[in-house]
Amino acid sequence: MESLKHKFKGTPLKEDILLQIKLGVLKAGDAIMPEKKLAERYKLGYLTVRRVISELEEEKIVKRFQGKGTFIVDDTSSKKKNLSVQVVVSRPSVFRRETNPTCWFINVDILKGVLDCCAENGIQPELIYSDEENLSLDKPAIILNYLSSDDRKKLEKKNTPYVCVNLDVGGDFCRIISDDAHGTYLATAYLVENGYRKIAYMGPDFKSFHCLPRYNGFISGLSEYGLKPAEVIFEKTSRVSDRRGVIANFLRASEVLPEAIVCSSDLMAMGAMEEIKKAGLKIPGDIGIIGFDDIADACFTEPPLTTVAKPRREMGYEAVKFILNWEENMKDRISTRVLKPRLVIRETVKKRG
């Protein structure tokens, strides 16, 4: 026969107070009911109530003030205010357009989200450059663009909270990423729904980590409608002038041009738009085009570029929340959070008859 364990009679009272705090019925600074009234309400002895209040005080959930009563304290808030996080990038140049023309805006927008969430939660952010080897292994880290696998393993060994943002290069580590495949799927489906059937894809080869999901989303969008790519144009260069040469050569060599092109970045789309115009073709009259990233310049092209917007600010914001909820995430074995991009409809796609 199993032995019966003695259950503390004050447990329901304690659980009820904690539940009221969780639901927001009791907030920081609120006074709880006097102990005598608690004893009457819960039909408990006075000493039992005293013990419950003492336990809550030891756990820094309430605080007694002689002659005034017992009040809810904001221990969680005080912990947040004392928290600081490292925001890790490789070098200062990743934020400058002139030195990082292809993705400076990504890091800037992610950083805005990080700073917003830090400000809301009283957290002190500290910008760290991994190239200078000044990473602290004892302080939570939000990694924006690069951190060596050795440094990441050191953080894990010390059980230091960390999360990588916009890094989806395989491996088992904590990260906040965008579902880029869903983005190009949305773009492709939008073209098909507007009457386009001969749709090409333009992007770098698959050596770049972000390219394969975007291509897969394009293929998935076509497959859903029983279509195949009209053409796949691979760019094996990062130089803008060379990129324009790739699309120019394609336009000259093609006997039958595609009705639309899905590009893996706005910069590629903007270069393609220039070459399409030079060839005497109209956008979207002759060729529709969709980019990816929604950079600031995308709305100033002629015509304004329809594109896919990554949730960059939200990714930075969620990274801070991931650090704040580290213990719960690890308990639930949550290591990856995936956010959905959205389609930004402008004027480079039209309804085809």
Tokens of 207: 């050596």
For residue 16, what pLDDT is reported? Answer: 85
Instruction: Return the beta strands (E) in the chain as ranges.
Output: 62-65, 69-72, 84-89, 124-129, 141-143, 162-165, 175-178, 199-204, 231-235, 260-263, 288-290, 307-309, 336-339, 342-344
Give the pLDDT of residue 132. Answer: 66
Q: pLDDT tens digits for 9-38? A: 888 898 888 888 877 778 888 889 999 999
For residues 311-320, give the mean pLDDT: 96
347 pLDDT more than 80: yes
Higher per-residue confidence, 289 vs 23: 289
Q: How far apart, in whole angstroms, are the C-alpha atoms of residue 343 and residue 202?
A: 18
Band the pLDDT of 148: cuts 50, 70, 90: confident
Question: How many angstroms separate the CA atoms of 81 and 125, rounded?
Answer: 11
pLDDT one-digit tens code per residue, 204-259: 876 555 678 999 999 999 999 999 999 998 876 555 445 567 788 888 888 889 99
pTM of the model: 0.73
What percentage of the chain carries pLDDT values higher than 70? 90
Provide, rounded to the nearest whole percent, the portion of the chain with pLDDT above 90.
49
Q: 76-80, 149-153, 173-177 — which one is most confidently predicted on average?
A: 173-177
In this structure, what token pair is assigned to residue 299?
A: 């709305």
d(CA 266, CA 222): 21
The lowest-confidence range among 50-59, 111-120, 144-153 is: 144-153
Domains and CATH numbers, the chain: 11-73 (1.10.10.10), 80-178+313-339 (3.40.50.2300), 180-310 (3.40.50.2300)
Q: Is the dihedral of CA 92, 97, 103, 104 positive or negative?
A: positive
For 4, the token pair is 């019966």
Q: What is the pLDDT of residues 47-74, one digit of tens each?
A: 999 999 999 998 889 988 888 889 998 6
| pLDDT, tens only, 256-281 | 899 999 999 999 999 999 999 999 99
